[in-house]
Amino acid sequence: MKLALFSDIHNEFEVWTPPKIDADVVILAGDIHSKHHGIQWAKDFFELPVVYIPGIMNIMVQISNRLIEN
């Protein structure tokens, strides 16, 4: 099984177009895009199965938003 691993893409600043890859599965590990936008980005750019792992920035934004709301 061939894996393609990408991390810290930060599409919230500039959208990155992935290269053509020869893999069976794509792993997106952390800080791909803000909030849930990374999941939609992955659906738009990859035709392969994707494992999506949120990064610390994704988690921190949600925590800070909850703190502000309360």
Q: What is the DSSP string of 31-55?
A: -SSSTTHHHHHHHHH-SS-EEEE--
Domain hosting residue 18, numbered range = 3-69
Check: CB of residue 44 under 8 Å from CB of residue 65. no
Residue 40: strand, helix, or coil = helix
In what helix (H) or strand (E) does residue 54 lie, and over which residues does it extend?
A: none
Structural domains of the chain, count: 1
Q: How far apart are CA 20 and CA 58, in angstroms?
A: 26
pLDDT tens string 8-59:
999 989 999 999 999 999 999 988 988 788 999 999 999 999 999 988 766 6
Q: Output the pTM of the full model.
A: 0.77
Question: CB within 8 A of 17, min separation 6: which ones?
Answer: 45
